Every structure is written in structure tokens, then in C-alpha cells.
């Protein structure tokens, strides 16, 4: 049931309280929210003015004033161009009663004892007719108001047309100039992002990539369009992922915050590359609404650092051997020192030194 029907005002007039209660209960079950029941027919005329019902359920045989008298009184106050449905409830089904009621303004009949299904259907039909009539009645006024309003709008539009045309020409010229300048800037930006040593990606708050610069293909082997929508956590080395997630959470909680971290990320060929990323929280910036990653491949640097560490360790080991040999004269002690240093330098659990006797060609 639509809202208009639910809010229809329904007045129930019957001298029997039981009938009024039955009808109120029926209407409530059907979804009608605004009903008023009375047992004194003398109140109808006043309630018509105060309550302004959309439908009246009127008993025909009542004390004080019967249904016919009530209809005669209502006919004097209901405007001739108005449609107020009055549903007469009567146990008298003679043609004379029907003719009198219809001639006095009743729109329909319900025979007692009441069939609740029939009552519900007739009430709904009468209310739909009521609201349709109101809509039609108001249409002319609404259309007139619309015509007046539209005429005023057209008049104003006509007055502003010349000025608007001049403004439009100016705006077209300015827009073309702006579009040309934007195209130049976009081409410049595209050239920078395609050839820049660093890559740029935008990570949405839901954890999916929103954008990847063209340099992504050169750095990581993935087409930039192919990684959009993916979760970068899937390609982050498992040993580095917890630290990365902690940093991301910290950055996400602080708008405008920036952090730098190093971690391993899987290349399209399956190998792991070291990346150094600077992450900036621009979620609050409407044109971005993401975490911005500026990243570069530092795999070569990491490998060089590892080699330096390894070479330094070896050099320190050799220096240690030389230092210890300078203080030892016993051959067995010297050989033990060489074995220990060799095992440490080669990262093995033990080492053995063999002595070669050239004269006998034996170890």
C-alpha cells in the first residue's frame, strides 16, 4: 500500500460500538493509519469540517439522525466539484433505500452482515478514485502555475540570452586554451612517468592498486594496466610483509604522513627484487584518495652492499690470520689457525689443511 492510501483519513459512523471496533480493526490490518470512529451521527457535520475525511463509512439506520439525514446535511457543505466517497452500511437492500442514498450523495453500498474482504476492496477502490479526482482537480491549477512560472523563466532566459551567448563564446575560447595547455601538461607528465627512474603507484584504502605509472613495466615487468585492482601484499616477500603492513597502518592513521622502507617484491619473471618506497598518505586529498608510493629498484645496491660485507669479512679474517701467524712458531698451531680462519671465511663448520711432500709426491 502506498503512503497516500495509508495516510487517508477515514471516518466511521455507526451507532453500534462493536461494528465501529470491527471496522477500525479491519482498517488497521489493511495498513490504514488514520481512522476515527464515532457512534453519534450528530457529530458528523462538525467532524467533516474539523477532521476533513477522505472517506466516510456511514450506517443507514441510526438513532437521532439516520444516514439519509446525514447525507442531506453533508450535501449542503460538500463543494459540488469535490468527490468525497461515502460508503453506506445497511441491512436494508431494497431498491428504494439504494435510490435515496445515491440521490443524496452516497457512492457505494455494503450489506450487513459485513464481508471484510469486500469492505477492504471497496474502501481501497473508493480511496483511489478520491485521490485520482483530487489529482485531476488540482492539475489545472498546477498546470496554470507551471505555465506562469515557465513563461517567467522564458522571459528571463530571453533577456539573458545575448549576454549568455557572449559569455559562452568567451568560455569556449578559454576552454580550448585550457584543454590545449592540459594536453601539453599531460604529455609532459606522461613522458616523465614513462622515463622516470622511479615508479609511482596509488594504493586505495581498501588495499587495491588504483594506478600504476608506465615505468612499472620497466622496473617490475608488469604492464601498468595489469596490476590495477591487484593487492600488492600478494607480491610482497612473506618475510618482509609484516613490517610493510605495520608501516602502512602507521601511515594510514596519519594524514599527510610520509615513511620510507625497503622490502622485497616479486618481479614478473618470478625473481625477488629489492624496492625502496617512500609512502605518503594523501587519502584526504579528494583528487587522490590513496597512499602514494614512489619506489625504485635497489636490488643492485643491496647486492653490492652484501658483497662489500662479505669482502670486508674476508679481509678481516685474513688480517686476523696474519696477526696470529706472526706470533706463532709452532707448525701445528699455525695450521689450526689457518683451518679456523678458512672455515669462518667460507662459512663452513670445519676445514682441513693437507701438506704436500714434493719429494715423495704425497699428501
- Sign for the CA dihedral angle at 243, 249, 250, 255 comes to positive
Residue 117: what are its φ and ψ, rounded to 5°? Answer: -65, -45
Start-end of CATH 3.30.450.20 domains in the chain:
198-297
Is the per-residue pLDDT at 224 higher than 80? Answer: yes
Tell me the chain's radius of gyration from C-alpha atoms. 47
- Domain 3-137: CATH superfamily, name plus number: Response regulator (3.40.50.2300)
How confident is the model over 53-65, as a mean pLDDT? 93
How many residues does this entry show for the chain? 363
Contact between 37 and 80 under an 8 Å Cβ cutoff? The reply is no
pLDDT band at 58 (very low <50, low <70, confident <90, very high): very high
Pairing of strands 34-38, 9-13: parallel
Distance from C-alpha of 226 to C-alpha of 229, rounded to nearest angstrom:
8
Is the per-residue pLDDT at 346 higher than 80? Answer: no
Is the per-residue pLDDT at 187 higher than 70? Answer: no
* pLDDT for 195: 55
Q: Between the ranges 36-40, 301-305, 348-352, where is the mean pLDDT highest?
A: 36-40
Q: pLDDT tens digits for 239-250? A: 999 999 999 999
Q: What is the CATH number of domain 198-297?
A: 3.30.450.20
Grid cell listed for 119: 469492505
Start-end of CATH 3.40.50.2300 domains in the chain:
3-137
Q: pLDDT tens digits for 248-285? A: 999 999 988 899 999 999 999 999 999 999 999 999 98
Distance from C-alpha of 235 to C-alpha of 345, rounded to nearest angstrom:
34
> What number of other Cβ atoms are within 10 A of residue 119's Cβ?
19
Is the per-residue pLDDT at 151 higher than 70? Answer: yes
DSSP structure string for 64-85: SS-HHHHHHHHHHHS-TT----
Grid cell listed for 337: 689457525
Quote the pTM value.
Answer: 0.41
Q: pLDDT tens digits for 87-98? A: 999 888 788 888
* pLDDT for 192: 47
Distance from C-alpha of 341 to C-alpha of 303, rounded to nearest angstrom:
24
Amino acid at each position: 500500500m502506498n503512503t497516500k492510501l495509508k495516510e487517508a483519513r477515514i471516518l466511521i459512523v455507526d451507532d453500534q460500538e462493536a461494528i465501529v471496533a470491527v471496522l477500525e480493526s479491519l482498517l488497521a490490518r489493511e495498513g490504514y493509519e488514520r481512522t476515527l470512529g464515532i457512534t453519534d451521527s450528530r457529530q458528523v457535520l462538525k467532524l467533516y469540517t474539523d477532521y476533513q475525511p477522505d472517506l466516510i463509512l456511514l450506517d443507514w439506520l441510526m438513532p437521532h439522525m439516520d444516514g439519509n439525514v446525514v447525507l442531506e446535511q453533508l450535501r449542503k457543505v460538500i463543494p459540488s466539484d469535490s468527490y468525497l466517497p461515502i460508503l453506506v452500511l445497511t441491512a436494508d437492500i431494497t431498491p428504494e433505500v439504494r435510490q435515496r442514498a445515491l440521490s443524496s450523495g452516497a457512492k457505494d453500498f455494503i450489506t450487513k452482515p459485513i464481508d471484510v474482504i469486500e469492505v477492504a476492496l471497496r474502501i481501497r477502490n473508493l480511496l483511489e478514485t478520491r485521490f485520482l479526482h483530487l489529482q485531476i482537480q488540482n492539475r489545472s491549477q498546477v498546470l496554470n502555475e507551471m505555465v506562469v512560472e515557465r513563461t517567467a523563466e522564458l522571459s528571463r532566459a530571453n533577456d539573458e540570452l545575448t549576454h549568455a551567448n557572449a559569455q559562452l563564446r568567451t568560455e569556449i575560447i578559454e576552454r580550448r586554451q585550457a584543454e590545449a595547455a592540459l594536453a601539453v601538461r599531460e604529455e609532459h607528465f606522461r613522458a616523465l612517468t614513462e622515463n622516470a627512474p622511479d615508479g609511482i603507484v596509488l594504493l586505495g584504502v581498501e588495499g587495491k592498486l588504483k594506478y600504476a605509472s608506465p615505468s612499472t613495466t620497466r622496473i617490475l615487468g608488469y604492464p601498468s594496466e595489469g596490476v590495477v585492482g591487484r593487492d600488492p601484499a600478494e607480491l610482497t616477500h612473506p618475510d618482509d610483509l609484516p613490517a610493510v603492513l605495520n608501516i602502512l597502518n602507521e601511515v594510514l592513521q596519519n594524514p599527510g604522513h610520509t615513511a620510507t622502507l625497503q622490502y622485497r617484491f616479486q618481479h614478473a619473471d618470478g625473481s625477488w627484487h629489492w624496492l625502496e618506497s617512500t609512502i605518503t598518505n594523501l587519502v584526504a586529498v579528494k583528487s587522490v584518495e590513496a597512499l602514494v608510493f614512489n619506489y625504485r629498484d635497489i636490488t643492485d645496491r643491496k647486492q653490492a652492499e652484501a658483497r662489500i660485507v662479505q669482502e670486508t669479512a674476508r679481509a678481516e679474517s685474513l688480517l686476523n690470520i696474519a696477526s696470529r701467524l706472526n706470533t706463532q712458531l709452532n707448525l701445528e698451531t699455525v695450521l689450526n689457525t689457518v683451518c679456523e680462519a678458512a672455515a669462518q671465511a667460507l662459512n663452513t663448520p670445519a676445514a682441513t689443511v693437507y701438506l704436500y711432500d714434493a719429494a715423495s709426491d704425497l699428501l
